[in-house]
Structure 1
């Protein structure tokens, strides 16, 4: 069983974009709400909302648009920029995984195996 995984974090000044934010954006796109996306990830609504606000503040265009509840209920959706951000992040992850497969395997081979007692 291969337990190797690649975790990509990109830093742009004060903004860090990593797997958690990418997964949150995907969940918002799937669930149609920030609270439902947070629940699906085991994250509080407050934390999910903070991450969305952080991303919206740091990117040139908002990545998530939300509407308050009401008779029709509220919701959230990825903007065109948000969908492109997630697609580019996942494509970069896949490229790194593929291009670095040999190096990852060699490094993995150097990892000590647990001794059974």
Structure 2
């Protein structure tokens, strides 16, 4: 009997054109920015360097007609970042695609899980 704690995951990576790609890492970064109000804090929460978080944010901002993230430099009042309306829309669309795809294949993923060997048999 399969372990009920196992949960095969489906990862969706959408190639929009050439090298423009939206996947789980960028979606998590957008969510983190929306939650923390900070690109660097969102990156830290994901185990991502400050530089990598900023690079991904700049990449996403350049991919779409309108930027997904607005940022303000630090200083006396502090800096910060927030999702733009386009950023919220892109994140929502990505999560909807992800949820619909997972739902569409959940029976097949369950069938694959049922075919897995029991790791305890190999000890």
TM-score by length of 1: 0.93
- Given candidates 48, 63, 80, the residue that maps to 2:53 is 48
List gaps (5 residues or longer) in structure 2. Answer: none
Aligned pairs for 1:9-48 within 5 A: 9-12=13-16, 13-48=18-53
Asked whether 1:116 is paired with 2:119, we answer no
The alignment's TM-score, normalised by the length of structure 2, stands at: 0.89
Aligned residue-pair number: 117
Task: Return structure 1 stretches of 4+ with deviation > 3 angstroms.
Answer: none
- RMSD, matched Cα: 1.2
Identify the match of residue 69 of structure 1 among 63, 71, 74.
Answer: 74
Structure 2 counterpart of 1:97, from 86, 90, 102: 102
Q: CA deviation at 1:5?
A: 0.8
In structure 1, the gaps of 5 or more residues are none
Structure-2 residue corresponding to 1:3: 7
Q: Secondary structure at the match of 2:8?
A: coil
